[in-house]
Structure 1
Amino acid sequence: MQFYQKEIQLPVFNRGYHLITNILLEALPELNKIKIGQFQAFIKHTSASLTINENADPTVRMDFESHINKMIPENMPYYKHDYEGADDMPAHIKSSMLGCQVQIPITQGKLNVGTWQGIYIGEHRNYGGRRTLVLTAFGI
Structure 2
Amino acid sequence: MRHCSHEWQVNNGGRGLYELTQKLQAWLREVDAWAGWANLFVPHTSASLLLQENADPDVRADILDYFARLVPDGDPDFRHRNEGTDDMSAHLRSVLTQNSLIIPVREGRAALGGWQGVFLFEHRVRPISRRVLVSFQGVMEEG
* TM-score range for the pair, normalised by the shorter chain length: over 0.9
1:94 paired with 2:98, answer no
Matched position secondary structure for 1:119? strand
Matched residue, 1:66 = 65
Matched position secondary structure for 2:94? helix
Matched position secondary structure for 1:3? strand
Q: Which whole-Å CA distance do the structure 2 matches of 1:31 and 1:96 have between them?
A: 32
Richer in strand (by share): 2
Q: Answer yes or no: is the 8 Å Cα contact 2:28–2:109 preserved in 1.
A: no
Matched residue, 1:25 = 25
1:131 paired with 2:130, answer yes
Q: Which whole-Å CA distance do the structure 2 matches of 1:133 and 1:97 have between them?
A: 19
Matched residue, 1:38 = 37
Instruction: Measure how far apart 1:87 and its partner are.
Output: 0.4
The residue type equivalent to 2:111 in the other structure is N
Matches for 1:83-122 after TM superposition, within 5 Å = 83-122=82-121
Instruction: Measure how far apart 1:13 and its partner are.
Output: 3.0
Instruction: Measure how far apart 1:28 and its partner are.
Output: 4.5
Moved more, 51-60 or 5-14: 5-14
What stretches of structure 1 of length at least 5 have no aligned partner?
Answer: none
Residues 7-27 of structure 1: per-residue CA shift (max 9 Å, x gap) = 110122331112121123334
Matched position secondary structure for 1:130? strand
Instruction: Measure how far apart 1:96 and its partner are.
Output: 1.2
Q: Which whole-Å CA distance do the structure 2 matches of 1:27 and 1:33 have between them?
A: 9
1:10 paired with 2:10, answer yes
Residues 32-84 of structure 1: per-residue CA shift (max 9 Å, x gap) = 432x2100110111101101010111111011000011011122122111010
Q: Which whole-Å CA distance do the structure 2 matches of 1:85 and 1:123 have between them?
A: 15
Matched position secondary structure for 2:128? coil
Matched position secondary structure for 1:80? coil
What stretches of structure 2 of length at least 5 have no aligned partner?
Answer: none
Q: Which whole-Å CA distance do the structure 2 matches of 1:85 and 1:79 have between them?
A: 11
Aligned residues: 139
Q: Answer yes or no: is the 8 Å Cα contact 1:38–1:138 preserved in 2.
A: yes
The residue type equivalent to 2:119 in the other structure is Y
Q: Answer yes or no: is the 8 Å Cα contact 2:40–2:135 preserved in 1.
A: yes
Matched residue, 1:75 = 74
